[in-house]
Amino acid sequence: MVRSAIAVFLRLAVFGAALPAWGAACIFVPQAGAGTTVLNDGKEVVELTKARYFDPCARVQVAKGSAQAHFVNDGKPQWRVLNEGQRVDPAVLAGGAAADTPTKSVGRSILSVLTEPKERTTHGQKFFDKPAQVGAPFGDVFIPADGLALRFVNLEGDARVVIVDDSTRATLFEAVAAQGMTLERTRLRAGGKYTVRVTSAQVRLAPVVFEVTTPQQSAELDRALQAIAADSALDAVGRAIARALLFEHEGLSFNREIALRELKP
């Protein structure tokens, strides 16, 4: 197999050198049930065993098996299922920085998710400075129709979470952090701002503010997520990547992080 892979590499490297442009980045995922997947990116031959980021994308060719390639094109996340000998057409990767930036961001996040230590709730654990490291929502946030489950980690055992409506100052949600909570769409105002406070007997995390997406953006996301869920070519990993690209493209970093949690071993 090694000799065969090297031979494929040499043939593809020669062919790849003739391509005029490589286009943007993409994320490759092994196709479920396709057996061993081997990729050649023009520099090396690699066995694809989990989600992996490639930049540039169009020079990557499937040398064996089958894979999904995820990228952003024409203002929305897209994907292709590629079989042996195929690569992504460079024409669909031309979108400039607006298309390439979300893919690169998700690619870096995937590496972080797959290499970070296991989450834990430990009494006496010091709070981190960034809300993303404890699970608190931040920035613009999309609330799905069936709610958004929050999971708080790396906090002291007695830590509590309170979410307050910035407009009315009313407390909408309150729970023990380790138990988590679910944000319900019907209880949050579209476009509304909310403050999250996480406290324990010993320390207090700085308040974090998030804003719910507008009705129009939420409706567009609902439709896009339904399309991802309905595509039979995507497995669980592929759907997580597609959702993460969608959220990152829409500037929803917190939702992107939740989608990528599904990749954790």
Q: Which helix (H) or strand (E) holds 168?
A: none
pLDDT in tens, 204-223: 778 999 999 999 999 999 99
**For residue 3, what are the CA distances in angstroms to 8, 11, 45, 227?**
9, 13, 11, 41
- Residues 49, 30: contact at Cβ < 8 Å? yes
- Assess contact for 29 and 77: CB atoms under 8 A: no
Burial of 253 (0-12, 13-18, 19+ CB in 10 A): middle
Say what the pLDDT of residue 23 is. 59
Q: Which residues pair with 36 in a beta bridge?
A: none
The domains located in the chain, with CATH, are: 2-115 (no CATH), 131-212 (2.60.40.3580)
Q: How confident is the model over 19-41, as pLDDT tens digits? A: 334 458 899 999 888 789 999 99
Which is it for strands 208-212 and 139-141: parallel, antiparallel or unpaired?
Answer: parallel
Kindly tell me the sign of the dihedral angle through the C-alpha atoms of 96, 97, 102, 108: positive
**Do the beta carbons of residue 120 and residue 146 sit within 8 Å?**
no
Do residues 177 and 203 make contact, with C-beta atoms less than 8 angstroms apart?
no
Between CA 179 and CA 151 the distance in angstroms is 8
pLDDT beneath 50, residues of the chain: 1-22, 121-129
215-230 vs 236-249: helix axis angle to the nearest 10? 160
| pLDDT tens-digit series, residues 112-146 | 777 665 555 444 444 444 566 688 999 999 999 99
